[in-house]
Amino acid sequence: MTATSKQVFPWKGAVPRLKRTLRIGATAFTLAALSVGTALAAGTLRIGMTASDIPLTTGQTDQGGEGQRFMGYTVYDALVEWDLTSADKPSGLVPGLATSWAVDATDKTKWTFKLRDGVKFHDGSAFNAESVVWNLDKLLKQDAPQFDKRQSAQGKSRIPAVASYKAVDPLTVEIVTKVPDATLPYQLSWILMSSQANWEAQGKNWDAVAQKPSGTGPWMIESGFTPRERVEMTPNKAYWDTKRVPKLDKLVLIPLPEPNTRVAALRSGQVDWIEAPAPDSVASLKGAGFNIVTNAYPHNWTWHFSRVEGSPWNDIRVRKAANLAVDRQGINELLGGLSIPAEGFLPPGHQWFGKPAFKLDYNVEAAKKLMAEAGYGPDKRMKTKVIISSSGSGQMLPLAMNEYIQQTLAEIGIDVEYEVADWNTVINIWRAGAKDASAKGATAINYSYFIQDPFTGLIRHLQCNLAPPAGTNWGYYCDPDMDALFDKVRNTFDAAEQDKVLQAIHEKYVNDALFLMVTHDVAPRAMSAKVKGYVQAQNWFQDFSQITMDP
């Protein structure tokens, strides 16, 4: 589906009967499409993605976290990146194209980034400080010749702290923030560097660059791609980090948004690896010799509430009632145990969890009482529309999960109508905000969030001045007390003290029931036993460089 379509799931009886995979709408993807280009190199890994299309190839990817995973940190690099070497501990930031960074001791808005020497883009041109300035202009400076609306839409909201930047010398960049902001390195981890020389060689045309991109990353795209079908990557043998030069001969990405189609492609040998297998297929896949790899990672699956005038979610009693009406253990069973039921916006045990007073129990009677206090009852049911996706990065099984929630919320007097769209369309609606016409009057959007850093995980969703188009506060929430906590995080450069502020922020997230907090994914992946050397990091992103394929 490329455009939104209304979908109201009918009541299907007892909740346990929902343990199955739903097929809603037709998919444009068939196994027949996978027969294109099936000749394999000796070490070819073919991955079935959940995305419905090849992520944007020009630098700043689309398709959410999956786009960054497969088309971001493969073809491109950022100044600051993530340590993806361990499955046993949460990832931290590590040097990427910048070898170091520091904030000025006397001016906390001024940062200095020292760049890695000798790095080359795939086209052979040199990476330097002017490359960083050119790439930031590509996203932030609308009158720059290289400004690209598509990439800006993906990257601008990632770096709201940036006020100015300049090249100090060929290997030094200075970035000045609007206010002191200790989260800047996290923000810059999203910003990927593409080649100015390649853009010029392709006639200064980003559409042409898309078919012949040039980054500094460990993988290269040499033969273009076929939209909605496949893209092939080959190793960058001259990659600056010799430990991450890929061992495979080829990495092939194939969009397969429907779970059962992905499973069938894996069973038939037409792909070697799939993201998010259908939960009811896991046992049989294991029995057939496929490996199921999972790990906790910083993810949550939510409804992001609209807080515009007239939204029913402006009433805290309604928000709390909805949270008490979600059977999170039942959803975990629906997902075959491949989830961690939510106890807050962040997962239980997280260093920023704190001690929220509101408990996300499953308590229908308490939920009904709250709804009655809010003025709802048998003669006055609450009606609302929610935007959901048909698939997508981190969305798990959005159709089945949302049907489950629809039925449990109906028990407390909340009638939900769904507006179903493909994942990239949902992302565009999310960026546009609840007031935009594309939301079609919806009062919530089902979105899975990346929660592995303070800004991306917490601040950007709720800060007053980050409502669209300035940022991604989709619901237009605005609370001076929350903003004060956000400001305190930005001005706290000591990690231990910053953790305490982040705990207070998370407590407010939960105590005020600011989202419908449902579950956390464990990033299940099913793969052939031929896949060797893969380490599943506790991160949205993964390193494909160490992987090999048995003959």
What integer is the mean pLDDT of 469-494?
A: 95
Least confident of 40-49, 173-182, 267-276, 371-380: 40-49
Asked whether residue 2 carries a pLDDT value surpassing 50, the answer given is no
Convert the pLDDT of each residue in 333-356 to its tens digit: 999 999 999 999 999 888 899 999
Q: Which pairs count as long-range contacts for 155-160, CB under 8 Å and 24+ apart, including other chains?
A: 155/60, 155/190, 155/191, 157/431, 157/460, 157/466, 157/470, 157/471, 157/472, 158/187, 158/190, 158/191, 158/456, 159/187, 159/188, 159/190, 159/191, 160/187, 160/460, 160/466, 160/470, 160/471
The whole-number average pLDDT for the span 202-212 is 97
Residues 147-167 pLDDT 10s: 999 999 999 999 999 999 999
d(CA 191, CA 457): 16
SS3 459: helix
| Domain segments of the chain as ranges | 80-197, 298-521
Helices 316-324, 364-373: axis angle to 10 degrees equals: 160
Question: Is a pLDDT exceeding 80 seen at residue 280?
Answer: yes
Segment 107-122 shows an average pLDDT of 98
At 41 the pLDDT is 53
> Domain 80-197 falls in which CATH fold?
Dipeptide-binding Protein; domain 1 (3.90.76)
pLDDT tens track for 411-453? 999 999 999 999 989 999 999 999 999 999 999 999 999 898 8
- What digits encode the pLDDT tens for the residues 52-65? 999 999 999 999 88
What number is the average pLDDT over the span 49-76? 95
Domain topology for 298-521: Dipeptide-binding Protein; domain 3 (3.10.105)
Report the alpha-carbon distance of residue 272 to residue 290 in Å, rounded. 9
pTM for the full predicted model: 0.83
What is residue 495's predicted lDDT score, i.e. its pLDDT? 86
CA angle 350, 351, 356 (to 5 degrees): 75
pLDDT at 296: 87
* Residue among 132, 187, 127, 131 nearest 159 (CA): 187
Structure confidence at residue 19 (pLDDT): 33
Mean pLDDT of all residues belonging to the chain: 91
pLDDT at 42: 62
Q: What is the mean predicted confidence (pLDDT) over 109-122? A: 98
Residue 224 has a pLDDT of 82
